[in-house]
Amino acid sequence: MNYSHTFILAICTGLFLSFCSRAQDQRIIAEGAELTVVSDDFEFTEGPAADKNGDVYFTDQPNNRILKWTAKDNSVAVFMEKAGRANGLYFDAEGNLVACADEDSELWKINGNKEVEVLVSDYKGKRLNGPNDLWIDPKGGIYITDPYYQRPYWERTEKEIAEERVYYLAPGATELKIVASDLEKPNGIIGTPDGKKLYVADIGAGKTWSYSVAEDGSLTNKELFTNLGSDGMTIDEKGNIYLTGDGVTVFNPEGKKIERIKIDRDWTANVTFGGEDLKTLFITAMNSVFILEMEVRGVR
């Protein structure tokens, strides 16, 4: 072999190893992992949120209950009945479970003894459309999406607030602040761990937007993240964003699609990371919940 051939081989080998390294870096699903049904004994599952131990709480909204998946033994048990028709859930820094209580369009805080504190019940005297999903920032401020979905258990049949908005409840505040009012039907919402960027899915328009978060919690620099809406959503340690609906579709921080997880259900409602090491993707879809072991971790 002459020097030129040796040189070319070295370059090709280097390129191949570089490609393999990049491919491995981009892999987010654990090698050999398979999607597993935890249970399909529900009516419609939503709102998964992991506590400090990695156990995941989720809702079965038609049956008005919150359930708990215990990561250690892969078991599911009822946590709370008469749960305000809770939809989206999220844990605050003190370990309280904050819930979008859809029955009376409220925002609840549920402590470890299952005692409920109503954080928000209206906006300037008008009933909210129906708090759907939420994210809590590092300072303890709460963002909620407020789309209108007519529920069979409501007596009302129309909105009191025309706009379907995103609101912010500042730490210690009792009144909501409007932070986005130009969306058709905001639904899924998630922020980055540093609290500097917020993603909001407009499921009505079929788009997901990113915003910069100001010091007071207001949103600026609205930019299109991807031409795909979402029900629920989550984020991993690399900043990848997980959107739901037709399975789970994953985008890198630049908005490039990097993965599609097919779910054998008509609709995939929500997703989060759980497990002791936050490397278990927990997925709610119709009457079922699924888990999938991942190469990447979620973020608290």
Q: Is residue 79 part of a domain?
A: yes
285's enclosing H/E stretch is strand 280-285
CA distances (Å), 137 to each of 41, 141, 169, 268, in order? Answer: 33, 5, 10, 25
Which tens digits make up the pLDDT trace of 227-243? 999 999 999 999 999 99
Structural domain harbouring 288: 33-293
Q: Does any domain span residue 28? A: no
pTM: 0.92
Look at residue 66 and tell me if it is in a domain: yes
Q: Give me the number of domains the chain comprises.
A: 1
Is 105 inside any structural domain? yes
Asked if residue 200 is part of any domain, the answer here is: yes
Q: Which amino acid would we find at residue 37? A: V
Q: Domain for residue 298, yes or no?
A: no
Classify strands 45-50 and 36-39 as parallel, antiparallel or unpaired.
unpaired
Residues sharing a CB contact under 8 Å with residue 128, sequence separation 6 or more, in sequence order: 105, 106, 120, 121, 122, 146, 161
Looking at residue 253, which CATH number applies to its domain? Answer: 2.120.10.30
- For residue range 100-157, list pLDDT tens digits in order: 999 999 999 999 999 999 999 999 999 999 999 999 999 999 999 999 999 999 999 9
The answer to the question of residue 3 being in a domain is no
* 213 part of a folded domain: yes
- By C-alpha distance, which of 133, 58, 145, 52 is closest to 96? 52
Contacts of 159 (CB under 8 A, 6+ apart): 129, 148
